[in-house]
Amino acid sequence: MRILNFGSLNIDKTYSVPHIVQEGETISSVAYQEFVGGKGLNQSIAIARAGGEVWHAGLIGEEDGSILLQALEDSGVHTEFVEKRPIASGHTIIQVDQEGRNSIIVSGGANRAIDEPFIDKVLSHFSAGDLLLLQNEVSCFSTIIDKAHNKGLIIYLNPSPMDSEVLSADLNIIDCFLINEIEGQILTGEKESTKIMEAMRSMYPKASLVLTLGAEGAYFQKDDNRFFSPSVKVHAIDTTGAGDTFCGYFIASVTKGEYIKESLRKASRAASLACTIKGASNSIPMREDID
Ligand code: RIB
């Protein structure tokens, strides 16, 4: 089974702020840094650092994208399906407060130039039984899902950021959902984690589910089986990319055939460690750090 991650690549313009700016307020940042990020890129790097083999597919800008490509290559991600276009790369404006909490504005840039010919070209290199990982920061979201399903790929969906694009896709063909509580609430209308899991099971009975609960930990659910793994308690500096780290580590571990409980445990530890360093992909730990 090969892993294809069709995902975003962003330059994260990150401002450290005393608090997340309020409506009508102007504040000064105490620091500014640029990091390599994007939910897609972060998840590919997490898979690679966890010891998995992953092919990243996505688009970057001709003039500003080399740093994104380089980061993937440095981590051992296959990049033959990352192409340059004569437009700007995706970027984000991120505020990180003193407790490590963030707020993010995404400007899609080249991530939004993904079209059917590119999707067809990439998918022609993959076949039934391969795994597609997808988030919701690229254009043609539901087209990628439909075409991958028609080819028999196994689809792991991290529907983040959640919006109407996700809700209008055919989610019945998803094999595994990786969601947080907010996404679970939007998908099911339920608020409490147990209720979210019950609702996901009755809405999508064929799918497995990973439900992350931030600092608390994460659940895995498939049919009658449910496991929980608590987070490792850390002093959070910056939570950006922690969810992506979890997804990447979990997928790398399960596709290597490791037990679900062990995969959850590794993913939780990796995500906790990612919160102790500022930035996105640069904060993803190596597997030696987890061991
Ligand atoms: O999940 C974190 C990521 O979300 C950041 O790296 C940023 O690029 C946004 O896509």
Whether the CA torsion 164, 94, 86, 81 is positive or negative: it is: negative
If we measure between CA atoms, which residue out of 240, 193, 255 comes closest to residue 218?
193
The crossing angle, in degrees rounded to 10, of helices 141-150 and 116-123 is 30
For residue 185 and ligand 1, the question of a CB distance below 6 A is answered with no
Ramachandran bin of 279, using left for φ above 0, alpha for ψ from -120 to 50, beta for the remaining angles:
left
Question: Given this model, what pLDDT does residue 100 score?
Answer: 87
153: Cα separation from own chain's centroid: 18
Positions of the chain with pLDDT lower than 50, given as ranges = none
Around 273, how many Cα atoms within 13 Å sit in the side-chain half-sphere? 21
- The residue to mutate among 96, 106, 183, 240, having the most atoms of ligand 1 within 8 angstroms of its beta carbon, is 240
pTM: 0.96
Question: Given this model, what pLDDT does residue 291 score?
Answer: 82
Give the Cβ contact number of residue 217 at 10 Å: 18
Question: Given this model, what pLDDT does residue 187 score?
Answer: 98
Angle, CA 228 vertex, CA 225 and CA 229 arms, to 5° = 145
For residue 279 and ligand 1, the question of a CB distance below 6 A is answered with no
Yes or no: say if 276 and 290 are a contact pair by the CB < 8 Å rule.
no
Name the 3-class secondary structure at 262.
helix
For residue 240 and ligand 1, the question of a CB distance below 6 A is answered with yes
Contacts of 234 (CB under 8 A, 6+ apart): 272, 273, 275, 276
Question: Given this model, what pLDDT does residue 114 score?
Answer: 98
The phi, psi pair for 237, rounded to 5°, reads -100, -40
Yes or no: say if 236 and 100 are a contact pair by the CB < 8 Å rule.
yes
- The residue to mutate among 14, 33, 42, having the most atoms of ligand 1 within 8 angstroms of its beta carbon, is 42
Return d(Cα 126, Cα 131) in angstroms, integer.
Answer: 9
- What's the full length of the chain, in residues? 291
Contacts of 125 (CB under 8 A, 6+ apart): 55, 81
If we measure between CA atoms, which residue out of 138, 213, 148 comes closest to residue 175?
148
Q: Which atom of ligand 1 is nearest to the CA of 42?
A: 6
Angle, CA 260 vertex, CA 3 and CA 256 arms, to 5° = 35
Give the Cβ contact number of residue 21 at 10 Å: 15
Sheet of 90-96: strand order equals: 31-37, 10-16, 90-96, 102-107
